[in-house]
């Protein structure tokens, strides 16, 4: 297969334990011929040993020894497949254990989320939670797969009813694009091929949907943001005075000649050159890794941000953040944490826990202020120096942060700036 | 459609460059683990791009089992010369001589797992705080759970159940004295992506990847090359075949496939039609269902 101009689509899959998530992923890999013969043979022999009829497609997604022994998924696993139209990365997140932490992780880089609903049970609490997290993380596209249609005789009324249930509740969520597909992951109906058992369904099967979802307009092309990772100073002949600012464009477009400002210093200059992996460029855009040289010799280093002078982020020291707690040790109000925002690092303090989201009812709890693993809450954070922020809704890069516990060096929380 | 998007290979390239620059910014003393295999060659190529016009600002590290293909060592030395970077060698033979490890016994003995000790010793000796590897998540089921920035404790061990969450592109490389990180810039690449990229960028790779005539013996479903380390078993005989290698490891365990693919174009075409995984020809992975996970936990690549 040649390199072509195909795009990469990253999606995450969510479902509860028995929704058939592993079977669906196995089916996608199998039917798109992404499974090799030696993998298939290994699965066939395991299926036989376990006494399954035929090949258990779910076994393709087994990873660690404990997972195989206990029949569960512990951590996010990444899977890959390619079709003639796109390359796909699946963030396969566990349905039960620590699902919030893992789903948030998987969702953070996803263009789309697949949410599975068991046709026999309809919309359940777990569906609501998964949809809420997808909405919180602003995944642009949601594909709701109503699975196990074979167990409800492929009935249209059942599907219609579940779609309605979902729409009633999802009107409160902030997802722009929601699609519904009736499937049977086990039998393959509407996964890769159109179902012959559900001729009443006029939409596309899942794979075709994933291949054609329009994603190139999902990224922010307006606000030019370039956090500096490191400064390139070759110190060799021909490049003695060279000073290149290396980083990745998080949003917007940069061109030679652009009037830019380095933050937080506020020094201004003009872009002299923009260089990408293939050499000099007339323009560069997210998510390209580039280096920029400026007309003037100004002081810029890691943690600074180069932006267009007519469109700057806000310098802010007091932030309101939706926080997902990811560590076994609970949040300590007023304790100090290291905050990572783009390439910038500061010390921060959680000043106030405003409320906690009740993940069962999706309501706000203003009483319980204990923040433990998998909790989602809204907090006020103060940093020692200003961060250059956009809101998460406007920018999935400059609107995000993590907290690191200075005593353990562990990443304890992920935050989305409100 | 908007013209402001990257195709998948350019997106993967940019992602890998971003990761490599994060390594340089976050660590004091990183190295690239360089085996002379295609994945570490691609990582090195990406590092060249990441820091251009400066040269790669850290050394390469080679864990030398002593059971090498001579072609790999020659290629390694040429690469170093071209890049003008230093090489750190960890020698498995030295580890054996010093009594740090004992040679495996029996007919399927290899030096594969002996590398773990040498690797960890060399990391400690040179105070390496980050070893960049060419591991990919599509290679193997335990690798599918790897982070880009993968933490190793004081003993060099990986704890898959207690990994740091990795969100957006915020990588946390903080560590305490004695600990280190493994970083995998091409985590999201598949074997096909690697080959397509080598072809597009016209990256030099060892001649072993191209079809060539070689003395081999049929063992564990693949063609094991004849070498001074090979002991023939009953019924085995050495034949000459036109073969090539899909992965490069120790000469004692890396099986070749029969092939006529002697150009990059032909290799890409051949790989896209393959029905076996590339590690299917590596006897080190066939030892048990969790062979890779077990070695990774101990500190393997």
The DSSP-derived string for A64-107 is SHHHHHHT---S-EEEEEE-SSEEEEEEE--SSTTHHHHHHHHH
Query: In angstroms, rounded to a whole number, what is the distance separating the alpha carbons of residues B177 and B127?
Result: 10
Residue B1 within a domain: no
Q: Which residues of B touch A286 (CB under 8 A)?
A: 4
Lowest mean pLDDT among A25-39, B8-22, B164-178: A25-39
CATH pick for A225-308 out of 3.40.30.10, 2.40.30.10, 3.40.50.880, 3.40.50.460: 2.40.30.10
Residues 359-418 of chain A with CB under 8 A from chain B are 396-397, 400-402, 404, 409-411, 414
Other beta carbons less than 10 A from residue A57's beta carbon: 24
Q: CA B263, CA B205: separation in Å to the nearest integer?
A: 11
Tell me if residue B125 falls in helix, strand or coil: helix
Task: Return phi, psi of residue A326, to 5°.
Answer: -125, 15
Chain A residue numbers with beta carbons less than 8 Å from the beta carbon of B55 are: 234, 236
pLDDT for res B170: 96
Please check whether residues B186 and B210 belong to one and the same domain. no
User: Residue A1 above 50 pLDDT?
Assistant: no
Mind listing the pLDDT tens digit for each residue in A86-98? 999 999 887 665 6
Domain shared by B81 and B121, yes or no = yes
User: If DSSP codes are grouped into helix, strand and coil, which group holds residue B111?
Assistant: coil
Residue A370 burial (10 A CB sphere; 0-12, 13-18, 19+)? exposed
Interface check for A222 against chain B (CB to CB < 8 A): the answer is no
Domain A7-212 and domain A314-417 have a common topology: no
Q: What is the pLDDT of residue A17?
A: 66
Of B14, B25, B160, the CB nearest to A75: B160
The residues near A168 (Cβ < 8 Å, ≥ 6 apart) are none
Helix locations, A76-205, DSSP H: 99-107, 125-136, 156-170
What 3-state DSSP class applies to A317?
strand
Domain harbouring B114, CATH code: 3.40.50.620
Q: Where are the domains of chain A?
A: 7-212, 225-308, 314-417
Strands (E), chain B: 30-33, 60-64, 87-91, 130-132, 149-152, 180-183, 212-219, 222-225, 239-244, 257-258
* Spatial distance between the Cα atoms of B263 and B241, rounded to a whole number of angstroms: 18
Residues in A 19-38 with any Cβ partner in B closer than 8 A: 36-38
Find, in chain B, the residue whose alpha carbon is nearest to that of A108.
B168
Chain B hits for A301, Cβ within 8 Å: none
Radius of gyration of chain A (CA): 24
Length of chain B counted residue by residue = 301
Residues A153-178 have a mean pLDDT of 92
Task: Lowest mean pLDDT of A2-11, A293-302, B71-80, B274-283, name the range.
Answer: B274-283
CB proximity A8 to B under 8 Å: yes
Task: Give the predicted TM-score (pTM) of the model.
Answer: 0.93
Q: Give the integer Cα–Cα distance in Å for B15 and A215.
A: 18
Q: How far, in whole angstroms, is CA B115 from its chain's centroid?
A: 13
Query: Taking each helix axis from N to C terminus, what angle separates B191-201 and B38-51, rounded to the nearest 10 degrees?
Result: 60
Please state the ipTM of this predicted complex: 0.93
Q: What letter would DSSP give residue A173? A: S
Residue A356's CB is within 10 A of a number of other CB atoms, namely 23
pLDDT attached to residue A96:
67
Determine the Cα angle at A150 with ends A146 and A154, to 5°. Answer: 75
Judge: A104–B8 Cβ closer than 8 Å, yes or no.
Answer: no
Q: Given an 8 Å threshold on Cβ–Cβ distance, is B1 in contact with A246?
A: no
d(CA A255, CA A1): 33
Strand duo B180-183 + B130-132: pairing: parallel
**Chain B: closest CA distance from residue A387 (Å):** 15
Same domain, B246 and B219: yes
Query: Between chains, do A397 and B169 touch, taking CB under 8 Å as contact?
Result: yes
Give the domain extent around B105.
Answer: 8-193+290-298
Average pLDDT, chain B: 89
Say if residue B157 is in the same domain as residue B47: yes
Question: How far apart are the C-alpha atoms of B86 and B297, rounded to whole Å?
Answer: 29
Report phi then psi at A380, rounded to 5: -105, 130
B113 and B148 share one domain: yes
Residue A192 CA to residue A182 CA, distance in Å, equals 12
Interface of A with B in 109-168 (CB under 8 A): 109
Note whether B180 and B103 are same-domain residues.
yes
Beta strand pairing call for A112-118 and A141-147: parallel
Q: pLDDT category, A164, cuts 50, 70, 90?
A: very high
Question: Does the domain made of A7-212 have the CATH classification 3.90.1150.10?
Answer: no
In a domain? residue B200: no
Alpha-carbon distance values, A395 to A251, A400, B15, B107 (Å): 8, 8, 18, 58
Inter-chain touch A64–B8, beta carbons under 8 Å? no
> Taking a C-beta distance cutoff of 8 angstroms, is the pair B222, B35 a contact?
no
**B173 in the same domain as B212:** no
- What is the bridge-based pairing of β-strands B180-183 and A112-118? unpaired
Q: Is the pLDDT of residue A358 over 60?
A: yes
Query: What region, left, alpha or beta, does residue B159 occupy, with left being phi > 0 and alpha being psi -120 to 50 degrees?
Result: beta
Angle at which helix B8-26 crosses helix B191-201, to 10 degrees, equals 90
Q: Are residues B248 and B123 in the same domain?
A: no
Instruction: Please state the domain count of chain B.
Output: 2
In chain B, residues with a C-beta closer than 8 Å to the C-beta of A326 are 165
Residues of chain A by 3-state class (helix, strand, coil), percent to 5: 20, 35, 45
User: Which chain A residue shows the shortest CA-CA distance from B9?
Assistant: A3
Which of B1, B26, B54 would you mutate first to test chain A, the one with the most A CBs within 10 A? Answer: B54
Q: In chain A, whose CA is at the least distance from the CA of B280?
A: A38
User: B215-252 as b/e, with b when 16 or more CB fall inside 10 Å?
Assistant: ebbebeebbbbbeebbeeeeeeeeeebbbbbbbbbbbb
Backbone φ and ψ for A43, nearest 5 degrees, come out as: -70, -40
Nearest residue, CB atoms, A248 vs list B18, B193, B293:
B18
Work out the average pLDDT over B214-237.
Answer: 88
Contact B247, B279 (CB under 8 A): yes
CB contact (8 A) between residue B174 and residue A409: yes
Size of interface A-B (CB pairs under 8 A): 194
Q: Does A239 touch chain B (CB under 8 A)?
A: yes
The answer on B247 and B98 residing in a single domain is no
Whether B214 and B161 have beta carbons less than 8 Å apart is answered as no
Give tens-digit pLDDT for B43-55.
999 999 999 999 9
Query: Which residues from chain A sit within 8 angstroms of residue B24, using beta carbons?
Result: 230
Give CA–CA dist A145/A183, Å, rounded: 6
- Give the pLDDT score at A305: 97
Nearest by CB to B14, from A39, A277, A302: name it: A277
Q: Report yes or no: A75 at the B interface, CB cutoff 8 Å.
A: yes
Query: In chain B, which residue's Cα lies nearest the Cα of A325?
Result: B165
Q: Render pLDDT for A366-406 as a digit per residue (tens, 0 to 9).
A: 998 899 998 999 999 999 999 999 999 999 999 999 999 99
Judge: B49–A326 Cβ closer than 8 Å, yes or no. Answer: no
For A4-33, letters b (16+ CB in 10 Å) and e give eebbbbbbbbbbbbebbbbbbbbbbbbbbe
Q: Is A185 on the interface with B (CB under 8 A)?
A: no
CA B297 to chain CA centroid, Å, is 17
Q: Is the pLDDT of residue B1 over 60?
A: no
Q: Among A246, A338, A343, which would you mutate to test the B interface (most chain B Cβ atoms within 10 Å of its Cβ)? A: A246
Q: Do B7 and A4 touch (CB under 8 A)?
A: yes
- Three-state SS for A379? strand
Asked if the Cβ–Cβ distance from A411 to B164 is below 8 Å, we say yes
Distance in angstroms (rounded) separating the CA atoms of residues A394 and A417: 10
Percent of chain B exceeding pLDDT 90 equals 60
Euclidean distance between CA atoms A111 and A92, whole angstroms: 14
**Chain-chain contact of B54 with A400 (C-beta, under 8 angstroms):** no
pLDDT confidence band for B249 (50 / 70 / 90): confident
Are A8 and B12 in contact (CB < 8 Å)? yes
What's the mean pLDDT in A143-152? Answer: 96
The reply to whether B226 and B181 lie within a common domain is no
Q: Are A81 and A39 in contact (CB under 8 A)?
A: no
Inter-chain touch A7–B5, beta carbons under 8 Å: yes
The reply to whether A45 touches chain B by the CB within 8 Å rule is no
End-to-end CA distance of chain A: 43
B174-208 residue pLDDT tens: 999 999 999 999 999 999 999 999 999 999 999 99
The class that CATH gives domain A314-417 is: mainly beta
The verdict on a CB contact (< 8 Å) between B161 and A66 is yes
B-facing residues of A in 283-312 (CB < 8 A) are 285-289, 291, 302
Residue B114 lies in a domain: yes
Confidence of residue A333 (pLDDT cuts 50, 70, 90): confident
Q: Check residue B286 and give its pLDDT.
A: 58
| pLDDT exceeds cutoff 90 at A210 | yes
Mean pLDDT computed over B156-164: 84
Q: Tell me what the mean pLDDT of segment A340-355 comes to.
A: 96
- Residue B221 pLDDT > 70: yes
């Amino acid at each position: 297969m040649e390199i072509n101009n195909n795009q990469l689509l990253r999606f995450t899959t969510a479902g509860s334990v028995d929704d058939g998530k592993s079977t669906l992923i196995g089916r996608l890999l199998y039917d798109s011929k992404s499974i090799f013969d030696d993998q298939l043979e290994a699965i066939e022999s395991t299926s036989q040993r376990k006494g399954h009829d035929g090949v258990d497609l779910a076994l393709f997604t087994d990873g660690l020894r404990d997972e195989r022994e206990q029949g569960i998924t512990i951590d996010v696993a990444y899977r890959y497949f390619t079709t003639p139209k796109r390359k796909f990365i699946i963030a396969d997140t566990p349905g039960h254990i620590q699902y919030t932490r893992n789903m948030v992780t998987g969702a953070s880089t996803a263009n789309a989320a697949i949410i599975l609903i068991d046709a026999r049970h309809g919309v359940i609490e777990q569906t609501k939670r998964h949809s809420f997290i997808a909405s919180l993380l602003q995944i642009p596209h949601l594909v709701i797969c109503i699975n196990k249609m074979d167990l409800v005789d492929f009935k249209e009324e059942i599907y219609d009813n579940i779609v309605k249930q979902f729409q009633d509740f999802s009107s409160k969520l902030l997802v722009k694009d929601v699609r519904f597909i009736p499937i049977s992951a086990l039998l393959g109906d509407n996964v890769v091929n159109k179902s012959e058992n559900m001729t009443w369904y006029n939409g596309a099967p899942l794979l075709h949907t994933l291949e054609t979802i329009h994603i190139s307009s999902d990224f922010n092309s307006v606000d030019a943001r370039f956090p500096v990772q490191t400064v390139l100073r070759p110190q060799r002949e021909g490049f003695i005075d060279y000073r290149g600012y290396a980083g990745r464009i998080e949003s917007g477009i940069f061109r030679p000649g652009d009037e830019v400002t380095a933050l937080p210093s506020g020094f201004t200059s003009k872009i002299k050159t923009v260089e990408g992996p293939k050499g000099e460029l007339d323009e560069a855009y997210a998510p390209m890794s580039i280096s920029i040289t400026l007309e003037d010799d100004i002081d810029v280093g890691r943690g600074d941000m180069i932006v267009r002078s007519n469109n700057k982020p806000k310098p802010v020291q007091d932030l309101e953040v939706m926080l997902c707690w990811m560590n076994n040790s609970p949040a300590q109000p007023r304790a100090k944490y290291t905050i990572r925002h783009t390439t910038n690092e500061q010390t921060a303090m959680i000043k106030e826990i405003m409320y906690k989201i009740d993940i069962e009812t999706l309501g706000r709890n203003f009483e319980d202020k204990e923040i433990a693993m998998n909790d989602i809450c809204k907090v006020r954070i103060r940093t020692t120096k200003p961060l250059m922020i956009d809101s998460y809704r406007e920018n999935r890069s400059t609107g995000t942060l993590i907290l690191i516990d200075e005593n353990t060096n562990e990443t304890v929380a992920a935050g989305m700036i409100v | 459609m908007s013209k402001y998007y990257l195709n998948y290979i350019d997106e993967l390239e940019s992602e890998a460059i971003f990761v490599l620059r994060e390594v340089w910014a976050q660590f004091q003393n990183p190295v690239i683990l360089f085996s002379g295999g295609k994945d570490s060659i691609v990582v090195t190529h990406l590092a060249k791009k990441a820091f251009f016009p400066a040269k790669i600002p850290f050394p390469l590290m080679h864990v030398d089992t002593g059971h090498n293909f001579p072609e790999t060592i020659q290629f390694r030395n040429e690469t170093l010369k071209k890049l003008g970077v230093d090489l750190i060698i960890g020698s498995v033979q030295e580890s054996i001589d010093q009594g740090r490890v004992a040679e495996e016994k029996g007919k399927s003995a290899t030096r594969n797992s002996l590398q773990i000790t040498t690797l960890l010793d060399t990391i400690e000796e040179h105070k390496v705080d980050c070893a960049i590897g060419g591991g990919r998540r599509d290679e193997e089921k335990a690798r599918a759970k790897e982070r880009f920035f993968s933490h190793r404790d004081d003993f060099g061990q990986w704890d898959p159940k207690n990994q740091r969450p990795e969100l957006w592109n915020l990588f946390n490389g903080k560590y305490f004295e004695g600990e280190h990180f493994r970083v995998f810039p091409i985590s999201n690449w598949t074997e096909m992506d690697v080959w397509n990229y080598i072809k597009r960028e016209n990256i030099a790779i060892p001649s072993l990847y191209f079809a060539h005539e070689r003395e081999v013996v049929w063992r564990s479903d693949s063609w094991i090359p004849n070498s001074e380390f090979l002991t023939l078993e009953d019924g085995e005989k050495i034949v000459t075949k036109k073969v090539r290698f899909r992965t490069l490891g120790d000469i004692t365990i890396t099986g070749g496939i029969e092939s006529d693919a002697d150009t990059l174009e032909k290799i890409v075409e051949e790989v896209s039609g393959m029905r076996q995984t590339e590690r299917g020809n590596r006897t080190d992975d066939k030892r048990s269902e969790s062979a890779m996970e077990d070695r990774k936990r101990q500190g393997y690549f």
